[in-house]
Structure 1
Amino acid sequence: MSGHVRRVLLVHDDREYLVEPGEEFGTDLGVLEVPEDVEPGETLETHLGTAFRVRALRGPDLFHHFERTGAPMVPRDVGLVIGETGISVGDRVLDAGTGTGVLAASMARAGASVVTYERDPDFADVARENMALAGVADAVEVRAGDVLESLESLVDEPEFDVLTLDTGDAPSMVEQAPTLLVDGGFLAVYSPFVEDSREVVETAHEVGLTDVRTHETIQREMDFDGRGSRPSTAPVGHTGYLTVARTT
């Protein structure tokens, strides 16, 4: 799928719905006709008088509204990848382990051109639809297949500025980083288990990558009430481990 699927968010209190302009939308709060020319910032009312605010779909919203084929990378981890690698306009990124495509779409929205590999053809189709929803279908090429089986063709393409990996066989791709990346290019590997991160780090050192660092990605929300302020007692927000390295 190419092009941009134009949709907007309708927001009322803690409710949020993704709709297409021109759509008739109904909930227990009433039926709402969404105009074809609806714009963010407008207020629309259902036939019962319930007001919904119209909001544009922005980067962090992709996590909540992409069609999922697995657990997508959370916004804070996406931010770490982009921040640690400096992905920006004009960069060329190779991404392996597309999944839902939140990371690939976010990197494209930051201005990069992304080639992303997804092993499951059906999941790849979903990812393409998600790219269209995010408005980056022209900047993200979703390839169905195993990236390791495509190495011969990849080395014939221009070198990449950044290599991002979220796959179980990441160490095998790390071995190829010096060949695939430009001088000074970045590698970012997201791992669910610390044992995987250790193998990635060892491989990165073996192939001569520099500035090899691993961080646990964890975040706690704060609670503020009349009694005082403290970190939330909700489960600790650990998601995984991010290893970043660089070619010489």
Structure 2
Amino acid sequence: MTDVSDPVLLVRGDREFLVEPGEEMGTDLGVLEVPVDVEPGDTIETHLGDEFRVRRLRGPDLFHHFERTGAPMVPRDVGLVIGETGVSRGDRVLDAGTGTGVLAASMARAGASVVTYEQNPDFAAVARENMALGGVSDDIEVRTGDVTDELEDLASSPDSFDVLTLDTADAPSIVARASDLLVDGGFVAVYSPFVESTREVVETAREVGLANVRTRETIQRELDVDDRGTRPSTAPVGHTGYLTLARNE
């Protein structure tokens, strides 16, 4: 059963709206009044009689419905981070470069408790709104500021982190303190669209003695399937970035 505070998706054809129970929303098909006790599988009519189906919010939906303050991490890259680090219930995650917040929210939905840093105050405010919309506000603390200014306090805290995720230009300086921030066996995952910054992260990780340092380019091709035949699509962007992974041992 859906908690009455959880947002849901209202779907009709190619239209999707992420809404909260009790919300009223105007659409081109009329006004939608969402009941407080709305459940996935319900049908809601606009005041003009057009029906929307209620669907439960899933993790990949965050990418499409969060308000954007830049280019969010795409679902396949989020999946790689979660799959390679094993983020799960009970983990503590330190994240830097919140942006839209798709990665942080996805890790929280996997059961982790996340502290994430965003330097831009406006972006941080949007990220907090996104966390509320995604139903994960209780599991994520969005801090406004530069994480490098707080590394000493974070490193001296008795509560170490299980995973460190970075999508920020100053990632090497944070990777340099990874051993002080992470539990034994904890993971570092650094995402970057550029080869140059990726190389600096790899070199830093090796210099400080992190183990299993490796980098993967994230590439994915979609296929066009039609009556003529099947072939790789030429439309979508195949490359998104580079993901560097390492472990504290």
Cα distance change of structure 1 residues 217 and 65 upon mapping to structure 2, 3 Å threshold:
same
Cα distance change of structure 1 residues 109 and 20 upon mapping to structure 2, 3 Å threshold:
closer
Pair 1:126 & 2:149 matched: no
Match of 1:212 in 2: 213
RMSD: 1.6
Tell me which amino acid in the other structure corresponds to 1:205.
R
Query: What displacement does 1:100 show?
Result: 1.1
Match of 2:224 in 1: 223
Tell me which amino acid in the other structure corresponds to 1:236.
V
Task: Specify which structure has the bigger relative contact order, considering alpha-carbon pairs within 8 angstroms and separated by 6 or more residues.
Answer: 1
Query: What displacement does 1:28 show?
Result: 2.9
Q: What is the alpha-carbon distance in structure 2 between the residues aligned to residue 154 and residue 188 of structure 1?
A: 18
- Using the size of structure 2 for normalisation, the TM-score is 0.93
**More displaced, 32-41 or 206-215?**
32-41
Gaps of 5+ in 1: none
**More displaced, 143-152 or 33-42?**
33-42
Cα distance change of structure 1 residues 5 and 130 upon mapping to structure 2, 3 Å threshold:
farther
Question: Could you say what secondary structure the match of 1:183 adopts?
Answer: strand
Alignment deviations for residues 38-86 of structure 1 (CA, whole Å, 9 cap, x no partner): 2111122334443211112221111111122211111111110000001
Question: Could you say what secondary structure the match of 1:59 adopts?
Answer: coil
Match of 2:103 in 1: 103
Match of 2:141 in 1: 141
Tell me which amino acid in the other structure corresponds to 1:223.
D
Question: Could you say what secondary structure the match of 1:197 adopts?
Answer: helix
Query: What displacement does 1:159 show?
Result: 1.2
Match of 2:53 in 1: 53
Match of 1:179 in 2: 180
Q: What is the alpha-carbon distance in structure 2 between the residues aligned to residue 32 and residue 105 of structure 1?
A: 27
Alignment deviations for residues 139-170 of structure 1 (CA, whole Å, 9 cap, x no partner): 11111111111012101221111110000011
Q: What is the alpha-carbon distance in structure 2 between the residues aligned to residue 140 and residue 23 of structure 1?
A: 24
Query: What displacement does 1:233 show?
Result: 1.9
Gaps of 5+ in 2: none
Match of 1:245 in 2: 246
- Using the size of structure 1 for normalisation, the TM-score is 0.93
Question: Could you say what secondary structure the match of 1:39 adopts?
Answer: coil
Match of 2:190 in 1: 189
Conserved? CA contact 2:20–2:133, under 8 Å:
no
